[in-house]
Amino acid sequence: MLVVAIITIVLIAAVVISNMIVSRQSQGDLERTDCTSWAAADSPQASAPAINALNGEVALGQSLTDSNDITSHYHVFAHEIDRSEPVGLLVHLHGDGAAEFDSPNGFAACAANVAAQHNLITVIPHTPDTQQETWWHQLSVNQHWLNALVDQLITDYDLDAEKIWWSGYSGGAEMISYSLLHANPDIVTGGAIMFAGGGAPVDQDPTFEAHYQQTTPLYWVVGSNDDGTTSDDGFNAIRAVRRGSHWYEDQGFDNVHTEIVEGHDHYTLPKIDLIAEILNEQDV
């Protein structure tokens, strides 16, 4: 009987310890976001702190109404920022459908982890166009709201206005190339990264300042299989990237980069690894 009792106690203890280990592992999983949908599994960017682990340094669903009485919302990630140094900004414009905004514990958290390493807060706004959930259909309305958003962020977070970066995916990239880069260059003071989109503007004949053309890095990145056969709506991102990058080169921009990532389509581009690579390359 004594032997049986000892064995029983040992088994119970083993179960308790096992449950404690599983519980700790589960807690650890809750505190990390899996970023491997946008980064290689062996990448330093393969995971990021989850929102629940950031101790209130994330502000979700903030609201802004501009002077045209247009209201939309945005998420702010301001964790791991060194306030003793100049603080910059990365604004990411979501693709059609707003997936990056709707799931802030996914791509947004992963992008914010990379940006924080360069002392950039990250903001993920939702397009004011709530009917179509796109950035590029109502360019002037959306641009006016974005201008107001950046002004508000600079004030609220005491940001360095000379350190403002943009990234956009698909329809978000189209917004950057169609409007942002020439409608308000004052808020593109770091550079811009356009993923799987970023076509040439239509009916635009802007005059750019030479300093802006010479110093602003513009990146277009697309998968080698993103030719319209892999996207839901048939959007040929390779064609858009070529047309957009060539248009800005023709306007006199000196720092235009175009990269076709082999083996990737509209949905598999390793955007997080690419953001990290570009920010490192630019020594942000």
The 10s digit of each residue's pLDDT in 260-282 is: 999 999 999 999 999 999 999 99
Considering only 142-146, 221-225, 231-235, which range has the smallest mean pLDDT? 231-235
pLDDT of residue 233: 86
Q: Give the residue-averaged pLDDT of 170-199.
A: 96
pLDDT of residue 30: 57
Q: Which of 158, 167, 142 is nearest to 72 (CA)?
A: 142
Q: Give the helix ranges, DSSP H, for 98-166.
A: 99-102, 109-116, 139-157
Helix (H, G, I), strand (E, B) or coil at 166: strand
Per-residue pLDDT tens for 21-46?
Answer: 233 333 344 589 999 999 999 999 99
- pLDDT at residue 11 above 70? no
Q: Which of 242, 236, 241, 240 is nearest to 265 (CA)?
A: 236
pLDDT of residue 57: 87
Per-residue pLDDT tens for 74-133?
Answer: 999 999 999 999 999 999 999 999 999 999 999 999 999 999 999 999 999 999 998 899
The kind and range of the H/E element at 125 are strand 120-125
As a whole-number percent, the residues of the chain with pLDDT over 70 amount to: 89
Secondary structure string (H, E, C) spanning 43-104 = CCCCEEECHHHCCCCEEEEEEEECCCCCEEEEEEECCCCCCCCCCEEEEEECCCCCHHHHCH
Q: Give the residue-averaged pLDDT of 219-241.
A: 94
- pLDDT at residue 6 above 60? no
